[in-house]
Structures are given as structure tokens and as C-alpha cells.
Amino acid sequence: MTGSGGRDDPRGARVGLADVRRLEDAVAELRARDYRRGGGSCREDIEAQLPGAVDLLSGTMREAVMVRLCTAVADMYNLAGWTNFDEDHPEAALEAFARALELAVEGGSNGLQANIHYRTGRLHLHYGAVDAALAEFAQGQESALLAHSKLAQAILSANQAWACAMKADVPAALAHLRRARAEFAAAEGVEPEPWAAFFGVTDLAAMIGTVHAELAQVVDVRHGRAGIPALTDAIAGYGPDMARSRSLTVIWLATVHALNGDLDVAAEAGREAIELAGSLRSPRTRQRLRTLSAAAHRFPGDSRAREIIERVGHSGQ
């Protein structure tokens, strides 16, 4: 057979499992850098490596290698989308997520499809498109069920809870949180897929705290008090390898204390939040500081509140 550049063309480069493993290792290293230092620390490197990864798809390989390669390239696009989102490039992020989804479907990876829907939903949530986010999370749940992945289901349920909190739907938010806890418990002992491995007990605690913090903003400040223990546990659990997640969680903790009028604690947590955000190449994290500033604006006559507002302003937000 002498095709013209197709995957079965014997003139194409031979691609084996070793090539796929190298790509998977590269994605793992870039993902770790993203968690540690923010999307701006690795977005350009990802985009530089993507063409070579895509070229591998034109090689000659066994079907089993092709399936795994499609998944690996899809995951690199998935990471490209996430880092573009973190860098405040939503259109580029959505393009990357769309390509990631096409390849994840081609590779038959329902688990990765669930994760792409989750990350796309998070982008919509960040920019206030809550209904679009809920639609993505619902599609993600369908893929997670097909993947028989309780961890993927837990991730999506926790984020559905956040979206419902943003809509001030307290019963639905709390119901999704209960479901997330149950699904997470059912996933214990199962080896996570690399794109979902971030969601451990610490991240679950962060999401529980986040949902209560969101409800404190849009429903009643009393909801925030229920989230403080979870936020505190999450902050203690995040190490330097998850610096961005720690920063986002400290922002929520400072926000909750500010909403409650605990301005001494809010100012102290706020200083840490601003310092952490400033150390990351993550515009998304700095944008999240707006929630802290908005909470402090509830107390315009208080010097501690003014300090928080000024510090957030000087950070670029």
C-alpha cells in the first residue's frame, strides 16, 4: 500500500510505545509546572511541542499504539487549553479544548472526555457563564459514567455544586457536594488517571470550602463560616507543588473572613493571598483577588478593609 501521508502509509515514520511514553512524560512534566508556577510558566513550551505531537499521528503504528497516542495528544491539547485559560486567553483555550475533545473521542477515552468537559466548564464559570458551565459539567458526568470513574464523577459533582452556588441555589449546591463526597469515597484505592490525579482529599476540601464561600457571597455570609474548616484543611494540605491551588484557596479564606467582618484575620490572610498570587504566572489567580476586594468594600470606613482594597489594587487587580 502506498498512500499519501495517511496513518497506514508505510512511508510515514514508525511510531511505537516508546514515542508515546515520551509524550506522556512531557505532558506530566508540563502539568506539574503548571500546578507549581501557573500557566504562564509553561504555555509557550506546550504550544511549541504540540506540532511535533500532532505529527506523530501521521506515522505508522499498531492500533493499540494509535489509541494511546490519540489520548496523549488529546491530553496535551487539554493542558494547552487549561494554561491558556490560566493566562486569560479564553478563545485560544476553547479552541484547544475542542481539539482535545475530538482526539479523546477518537482515542476512546471517556475519562479524558470527562476531564475536558470539566475544564471547559471551569473556564465558563470563571467568566460568569454559569449555564454554559453547567452544560459542560453535565456532559462530563455522562462521560464519567461511561468511564466508570467515580473520581471523575466526584470532580464534576463538586464543580456542579459550585455552579449551583453561583446561581444561589442552596439545596442543589449542597446536594451536589454530598454526592461529590460519596463519589470520592467510592473512588478510594483506584489509581487515578493523570489528568484527574490532582483531585485528592485536599482538593475536595478546597471545593467544599469554595462552595460555602460562594454561597456566603451570593446568599448569606453565614454560609462562609461552614466553609472555614474545609478551607483551612486544604491550605494546610497544599504543598509547593500545588502553589496555585493554595493561592486560590487562601483568597477564598480571606474573602470569607472579610465577609464576616473578621478584618484582622482577613487582612493577614489577604497579605498571604496577594503574595502567593504575585509569585505565580497566573492572571486567573490575580483576577480571583477581586472577590476579596469586593468583600472588603462592605466596610468602607474600616482601615483594615482599606488596606486590603489597596493591596489588591496594587497587585494589578
- Extents of the domains making up the chain: 200-317
pLDDT beyond 60 at 2: no
pLDDT given for residue 8 in this prediction: 46
pLDDT single digits (tens) 127-142: 999 999 999 999 999 9
Q: Tell me the chain's radius of gyration from C-alpha atoms.
A: 21
142-200 pLDDT, tens per residue? Answer: 999 999 999 999 999 999 999 999 999 999 999 999 999 999 999 999 999 999 999 99
Instruction: Report the share of the chain in percent with pLDDT over 70.
Output: 96
Does the CA dihedral 207-287-245-109 come out positive or negative? positive
Q: Other CB atoms closer than 10 Å to residue 17's CB: what's the count?
A: 14
What's the CA angle centered on 121, arms 290 and 164, to 5 degrees?
70
Model confidence at 244: pLDDT above 80: yes
3-state secondary structure 155-166: HHHHHHHHHHHH
> How many Å from the N-terminal Cα to the C-terminal Cα in the chain?
60
Percentage of the chain exceeding pLDDT 90: 95
Confidence class for position 316, pLDDT limits 50, 70, 90: confident
Nearest to 221 by CA among 176, 261, 270, 248: 261
- Where does the pLDDT of residue 317 fall: very low under 50, low under 70, confident under 90, or very high at 90 and above? low
Residue carrying the nine cell digits 453565614: 222
What is d(CA 110, CA 126) in angstroms, rounded to the nearest whole number? 25
What does the block give as the cell for 309? 482594597
CATH topology of domain 200-317: 1.25.40
d(CA 298, CA 302): 9
